[in-house]
Amino acid sequence: MIATARLELVPATFEHCSAEITDPALLGEMLGAIVPDGWPPPLNDEHSQRYFLEALRDRPSAVGWCMWYFVLRDGPRTAIGNGGFKGEPSGGTVEIGYSVMPDHHRRGYASEAVDALVRWAFGDARVRRVIAETLPELVASIGVLRKTGFRPCEGASEPGLLRFERLA
């Protein structure tokens, strides 16, 4: 777990991911938090949920290098977003992604979570660079990346995406 000023970041396990797909109320119990109606956050869908479920099923040691749940610590504990990495470090690099529920946009939660996850990743000697990709129209996402020290770079995985990096 990672604690920030306002959030608790909980690394997803296979059991978390399974509950998220089959029983969001059980996920809430596991997180000790409310899982709001409309879960999962934007740009997360059954495909992404299954990606992390299968990754953790196949590599239980990858906890931390997959998804994390963002839980608001003050007030009623509430799951407000998720994010994390698309796998363990490879060639010194990991890729990060993140999303926050619309009711919690524009409050700095994504920046707080992304910065904490990047610092966590750089705590591993295998990580020298964190990359992120986003669509050009996701202006808020680009703002989060810039605010947390990412800079544009070349090498997007497909046409139409923007790639950013933050170096250790």
Q: Give the start-to-end residue ranges of the domains of the chain.
A: 2-126
Q: What is the pLDDT of residues 63-89, one digit of tens each?
A: 999 999 999 998 899 999 999 999 999
Long-range contacts of 154-163 (CB under 8 A, 24+ apart): 157/133, 160/135, 160/136, 161/133, 161/134, 161/135, 162/133, 162/134, 162/135, 162/136, 163/131, 163/132, 163/133
pLDDT at position 43, please? 87
pTM, full prediction: 0.95
Q: Is 2-126 a CATH 3.30.70 domain?
A: no
Q: What is the pLDDT of residues 46-61, one digit of tens each?
A: 899 999 999 999 999 8
Q: What is the pLDDT of residues 92-113, one digit of tens each?
A: 999 999 999 999 999 999 999 9
pLDDT at position 75, please? 86
